[in-house]
Each structure stands twice: as C-alpha cells, then as structure tokens.
Structure 1
Amino acid sequence: MPVEKIDTLVVGGGQAGIAMSEHLRNAEVPHIVLEKKRTAEAWRTGRWDNLVANGPAWHDRFPGLAFEEAKPDEFVSKDRLAQYLVDYAAMIKAPIREGVEVKEAHRLSGTGGFLVRTSSGDIEARRIVAATGAFQHPVIPPIVPKEAPVQQIHSFHYKNPEALPAGAVMVVGAGSSGAQIADELNRAGRKVFLSVGPHDRPPRRYRGRDNVWWLGVLGLWDMAAPAPGTEHVTISVSGAHGGRTMDFRRLGGEGVILTGLTSGYSDGELSFADDLQQNIAAGDANYLEVLDLADAYVARTGLNLPEEPEARQMYPDPQCLTQPIRSVALQNEGISTIIWATGFRQDFSWLKVDAFDDRGAPLHNRGVSVEPDIYFLGLPWQSRRGSSFIWGVWHDAKHIADQIEIQRSYEKYEGQAAIVQAAAE
C-alpha cells in the first residue's frame, strides 16, 4: 500500500490548527489537519459545564466570522465556542481528519521531509506544524500523596459542584480557572478554601470599556515575549455572571477562605506560605496600574469616556486576609476534594527532532523552529501576549504560512544564480 504524501501536515484540530489551515489554503499550500479526537475537543470536554469565554464575543473570535445571535459584549459559553470553531472549519473547508492520532514523526534521512506514523497509517510530509496548543497535559504538583484520604482532581476534569463528593473543597490556584471554580462552588453552598499565589488581576471593565479593549489601545496585547522560563503570568479574570472584576476580597467577604500559596502536606494537614497579603497587594498594584494607564490614555487622546472613581474603592479586608491561616487539617475542616488549578505542560515527545531545549520546550522564533521545516503554533507568548488567544493564534498562523510559502518558493528554484558584472566593466 503506497504511503500518502502531503506538503504540510498540521497536527491538532483546535483553534490553532483551524487558523493554520485557513492561511495555508489562502497560500495554496497542500495540507491536511489531523485531530486525534474531534474538532475543538478541549472546548467540548476539557472544561467545566458553566465555563464561558474570558473575552467578549466582539473580540475573542477569528476575523472572518462573528458569533451569530450573540451580543457584542456577551461572554459565550464553552459549547458555543466549540460550535463556532466547528462552523469556522466548515466555512473554510479545512481538511480535518478526526480520530487520527499522531504516534511519531521523524526526519527521512537524505530525502527531506518526515515520516509520520499515525493511528490510521503512515504519511510522508515535507513539513510539519505542531498545532497542539498550550493546554495539553494537566499538572498536579506532587504535594499531597495519591493515597491521602481526599479526592484530588485537576481543574481540567472538574465539571460541576454536584459531581463532587459531599464536603468542603480546597481549590489550589487563583488564576482564571481556580478563582471561577471557587466562586461557583461557594455560590453552590460549599465550604471553599482558595490558595492564592502571585497573580495579575485586571479590571473586567473600566470607564465603559472591556479589559481586552484597554489591552488593545494601550498596546499591551503586542508585548513581546519575555525571556524563556518567565513567560507564565497567572491572570485572574472572568466572564462569568456577565463579567465581573475578579476581586479576592469580595470572594473572602462572601465566604471563601483565602490562604497563601500551598507549600506542603504532612499527616493530613496542608500548609501554606506566609504570602497571602503580599500576593493580594501585588494583584491590587497590577489592577491600579491598569486604571492609571487607562486614565492617562483618556487624558492624552481626549476620548469622551466617563470617569469611574468608584473603581478604585476596595472591598473590606476579610478576616482570612487580616489573619491568614498557615495550615488546615483536611479531616477537621471536612475537605473531601482538592481541585488543582495548577496549569498544564506541553508534550512534543512524538516529534523526534532536535528542536527542544533541555526542558522539552520548543526552540523557535515566532513559531519557526530551529529544526528546518518544523513549526509550532498556539504556544503561550509565541510572538506576543495575545498568542494563545483565539484571535492571536490566527495572526501567528499567518506568519507561519508566510514562512512556509517563502520556503516553497526557494525549493522551486532550479537555475544558476546570475553573475553580476562590475559596473566598471
């Protein structure tokens, strides 16, 4: 049976793979997209039931298609976002093959290109785009032993309060996922502890404009990628309940028990760093900095946006902030579940090429690998702050498609370079 051959193989059928397909199609580059499950699978099954987008519908989308029947400032549900990606893939006629898992890819010696082994057979590809995204494998830090008498799940596997066993819940991680899950559980009547580490917490809206608008006009979406190893910044922002600024003092006042960073476990007891007040203060400073930048922008440009002095008023400090607890005994507090909202790791072990550092992170420049004909898409801070967002990945995909098109033009060259005579001759 002959091996299928293709110019460009895109691995991953989420927002990155779909964006890549659109630009490759526009550049007339023959390609296929392989998705091991279903298109936009992570949005279908890798999120909790009530999750909504963290950005409004007018902004968090591809340029070529708006969300039908959604108000511009609406935060659409995860299911609506998944359907949007499916609809977009159909609109651009993306050649996605669902249910095909890539097992391994290695360079074909002496011939150029790669042999890709998949669950449905081998493919020879001239080049590969790894578009598997930033959220591949949930990470639970090795703090609490697996045999401890408490259920431990990652936020990736949390669905709703009813799916958890009865009892209190410890949520570790105060980024968007952890803070929203803690809020949801508290509203459902659960006793909730929330471990708060260092974070940024921008205003949801200020002076009549959403945070994403301010990031745009202030040029903050285009911030260059920071130094390797420093890319991750925990952002606490939410579109839930119509979109509210995520304020940990508010959560504490509503009953959520805030703690510092989770630092250890011994004999049924979780311990926390003495950094809660410091972390909250740093989050406040980030919040106020955004307000200051926004005010300065309005003053400079003369925009007619109403002042909002009440935005600088803080909720009262809850007792858990003024008198932070340093440990909690799980059994005494009735904690039956720990939800680890502690991020993800990437996995490119299937890609057998010399394109990674000693941590397994891709070595690349705006997604163009140090290994010829290998590209990455959907990485956090791939080219700028907005890279892992749905609209940002679209622009990164355009850059990669341009680079592929350039390489294809070089490959077509067959003649001898012209010799330019000196002008004096």
Structure 2
Amino acid sequence: MREQQDIVVIGGGQAGLAMSRVLQQQGREYVVLERGRVGERWRTERWDSLCFQFPNWTLQLPGYTYQGQDPEGFAPYRGILRLLEEYAGHMPAPVREHTEVRGLAALGGDEGFELSLADGSIRARNVVIATGPFQLPRIPALAHEVPRSVLQLDPTRYRRPEALPEGAVLVVGSGASGTQIADELLRAGRRVYLSVSRHRRVPRRFRGKDAYWWFEALGRFAQTIDTFPERQYPPSTVVTGVNGGYDVDVRKLAAVGAKVIGRVTGASGGELGVQANANQILDEADQAYASFVAAARDFIRRCGEDGLTEADPGEPEPLPGVQEVESLSLPEEGITTIIWATGYAYDYGWVKIPVFDVRGRPAQQRGVTAVPGLYFLGLHWMHTFKSGLLSGVGDDAEFLVNRMSRGLQE
C-alpha cells in the first residue's frame, strides 16, 4: 500500500527542523525527509575555520534560545551542527535520514502530491520544500576553458590552506565566502589574487554593538523582498566571526598583500580576461559602509545612547585604490588553484510542478505558492533577509503552518 501523509517536509536542516517543531506544537501529523543526515550541509560543505557570522545570542529556533556562556562569541560551524543534531533529538523530530526525494509531482484537484523515492513513493496533502538557501555552487562556464593543471574548487569543497597545492590562489568572488577564504589564505602566507564582485561591507561592531544588533535597530531585518525592484535583493554583506569577529575590508586585504582585480570575464588556455572595475566595486562597498554608519549615528541622535559602551570611532582612514588589470596569466603568476566563490543556484530539477519564475527562483510570497498545499521555507531573502537565518526561519515556519491550518492561498 502506498504511504499517505498529511504533511511532508523535504530537508532536515535548520528550516526543516524549525517547521518540524512548529508542526509538533500545533499537533499536526507529518514526516521530514532528509537526503543525507540532519544538518548535512553543515556537516559536509563547510571549511574547517568557518564560524557563524552572527553572535551566539542570535542562535534561535522555535522553542530554542542560546543559553551558553559566550553570547557575544561566534560558534564554529561544528557547533551549529551539534545544535541542529541536539535540537532534532530533543523534539524528537520524525526525520527519515538518507531518504532522497527524486521527484515531486502534483496529482491534480484536491489529491495533493506524489513524492518519488528510491524505494517507493509517498502521497501528501501538503509539501514544504526546505532544502536550504544555498544549494548548488554556481560555476561560470568559462571554468571549462581553464587548463586542467589548475585545481578548481568552490567554497563547499575548500577545507584549509595546507590542503591546496603549492602556488598562488585565485579566489573569484568577494561575497562572504570569498572574502573569508581569501583572508584565511593570506594569513596562512599564501599568495592570493581576489577577483571582486559586488558586496556590501559593514563594521563588525559599532559603538559596542554587533552589526546584527544594528540591523535589527535600523529596521533592516524588517525590510521585505517586495520593497526591491523586481524582487532583486541586494549584494551580500561581508562579515566574519573568525577570531572573535572583525571587520572585513577588501582594501585592507589588498594592503596586506592580496592582488585585487576586477571581474573575470573569460578564459583562453591559461589567460583570463578581466574587467577593469575593481575600484568601482570597492567604492560601492565603501558607500554601503558609510551609509550604515550614518544610519547608526542618526538612530543614536533620535533614540539616545543607552547600552552603547564605546565611543564613536570617527571616520576610518581612507585606503588607496587598486591597480586595474585587463588580463591575468595563470602560469606567469604561478596560480595553481582557483576557488569559485561566485554564488549559488537552486537545485529544483526534481520538482515537476511549474512554480518557478523566469530566473528559476520559486515563485512565492513568504513561502506560499500558487499551487495549493505547496510551500517553500528557508530561502535566501524569501520574505526578509532573516528568512535564511536560524533567527528568522521560525517566524516564517509559523506563518506557513497557520496558512495550512486555514487552508488558504494567496
């Protein structure tokens, strides 16, 4: 007999587990299907030194708040994995590990959905796709033109500097992953080339408060994806929690030895084409920093200085621009490794339901799709920036469970 479920949650990471807890609280019947183990991406797709990007006090899930001894610290990624494992065990969550969903189809009418597995199928009235905000590393097609002698990785396969072959390293992309990896390689004494992409930088701390605190205070976390033209969210914000957390500034990386170049545009043999736009990108990041600090100072003027423990640091000393190049020779520069930190794409080839926009993104409003009973959870900027964070996914989960309970669709 074919298995029948009321609700199937696909994915056993933070989003799927948050949904699990909310469903339990409301007495719903459900099952969670996980292709690997609980928290699989935290387990197998993180580099060794990675730390959570926000302070420990922001570690929140439905029914869980951080109670440790270091609220202002930054948990190593293994700590996040332990948190998820313990969270799943304490519920306990009905997670079926090593159960990959190979196909999802709508049955039509009020029949719900059919989920195809390796050893059978499940029919469900409701399905929540919670497979993570960052699924497939997006590697540009030009990577195929790079000589095979050059090792090519992405942030999910990079582990540590000493695991790379001798020689210089080119990191392509200056989002959170690219800048942190380039920083680590520099500190390890490697020669580093960094191809920059659009990003926003903020102070790790301002007036004694972490950037996360300021995001909340300034209303940045309340801003929804619908406020952006064509729902196109802004560039990633660059922060790090390594070594207690500190500012990340590409200009500072250049000052201590990184060769910063513009966007890589093409490859032919060992020669890369480069756009001469590095300084423009760095100027935009500086503007984002100045805008953040100005907004924080305005907040202080309006609301007072209660709880602020440090003096205003004043304006940072300006750092020089970088020398633009239009090409980069891998053999001449001794580059033996390229790390493509160029973002992520969705992996929804198994979803046989037309619920995606022209860019391949789920067409949804706070996780609700036009197909009755089909929901998404935990996407980057699904509703707000917090939708993809541990501290925000619970609110979206509660919203979706309430929608299920009412049987309504937008």
**Paired position in structure 1 for 2:130:** 131
Which whole-Å CA distance do the structure 2 matches of 1:117 and 1:363 have between them?
Answer: 22
Secondary structure at 2:126 match in 1: strand
Which whole-Å CA distance do the structure 2 matches of 1:164 and 1:70 have between them?
Answer: 36
**Paired position in structure 2 for 1:56:** 55
**Paired position in structure 2 for 1:191:** 191
Identify which range, 382-391 or 221-230, moves more after superposition: 221-230
For residue 23 of structure 1, report the CA deviation from its aligned partner.
1.0
**1:107 maps onto 2:110 in alignment:** no
Identity %: 39
**Paired position in structure 2 for 1:240:** 242
The change in CA–CA distance for 1:343 and 1:107 in structure 2 (over 3 A counts) is: same
For residue 142 of structure 1, report the CA deviation from its aligned partner.
1.2
Secondary structure at 2:32 match in 1: strand
Secondary structure at 1:231 match in 2: coil
For residue 69 of structure 1, report the CA deviation from its aligned partner.
4.0
Secondary structure at 1:126 match in 2: strand
Contact 2:7-2:127 at 8 Å conserved across structures: yes
For residue 115 of structure 1, report the CA deviation from its aligned partner.
1.5
Q: Give the counterpart letter for 1:127 in structure 2.
A: N
- 1:342-421 map, 5 Å: 342-407=342-407
The change in CA–CA distance for 1:60 and 1:327 in structure 2 (over 3 A counts) is: farther
Q: Which has the larger radius of gyration?
A: 1
Contact 1:27-1:405 at 8 Å conserved across structures: no
For residue 124 of structure 1, report the CA deviation from its aligned partner.
1.1
**Paired position in structure 2 for 1:118:** 117
Q: Give the counterpart letter for 1:38 in structure 2.
A: R
Secondary structure at 2:153 match in 1: strand
For residue 348 of structure 1, report the CA deviation from its aligned partner.
1.8
Q: Provide, for residues 95-129 of structure 1, a one-character-per-residue CA deviation record: whole Å limited to 9, x for no partner.
A: 11100000112122455111211124211111100
Which whole-Å CA distance do the structure 1 matches of 2:341 and 2:69 have between them?
Answer: 29
CA root-mean-square deviation: 1.8
**Paired position in structure 2 for 1:200:** 200
Which whole-Å CA distance do the structure 1 matches of 2:188 and 2:138 have between them?
Answer: 26
The change in CA–CA distance for 1:296 and 1:359 in structure 2 (over 3 A counts) is: closer
Which whole-Å CA distance do the structure 2 matches of 1:195 and 1:70 have between them?
Answer: 39
Q: How does the TM-score come out when normalised to structure 1?
A: 0.91
Contact 2:218-2:299 at 8 Å conserved across structures: yes
For residue 307 of structure 1, report the CA deviation from its aligned partner.
5.9
For residue 211 of structure 1, report the CA deviation from its aligned partner.
0.2
Which whole-Å CA distance do the structure 1 matches of 2:234 and 2:46 have between them?
Answer: 20
**Paired position in structure 1 for 2:280:** 278
For residue 269 of structure 1, report the CA deviation from its aligned partner.
1.5
Q: Give the paired residue count.
A: 405
Which whole-Å CA distance do the structure 1 matches of 2:246 and 2:213 have between them?
Answer: 15
**1:83 maps onto 2:82 in alignment:** yes
The change in CA–CA distance for 1:111 and 1:67 in structure 2 (over 3 A counts) is: closer
Contact 1:166-1:336 at 8 Å conserved across structures: yes
Which whole-Å CA distance do the structure 1 matches of 2:330 and 2:129 have between them?
Answer: 42
Q: How does the TM-score come out when normalised to structure 2?
A: 0.94
Q: Provide, for residues 65-119 of structure 1, a one-character-per-residue CA deviation record: whole Å limited to 9, x for no partner.
A: 2445440011100000011011111222111110000011212245511121112
Q: Structure 1: 5+ residue runs without aligned partners?
A: 411-425
Which whole-Å CA distance do the structure 2 matches of 1:95 and 1:158 have between them?
Answer: 32
Identify which range, 52-61 or 207-216, moves more after superposition: 52-61
Which of residues 301, 304, 314 in structure 2 aligns to 1:302? 304
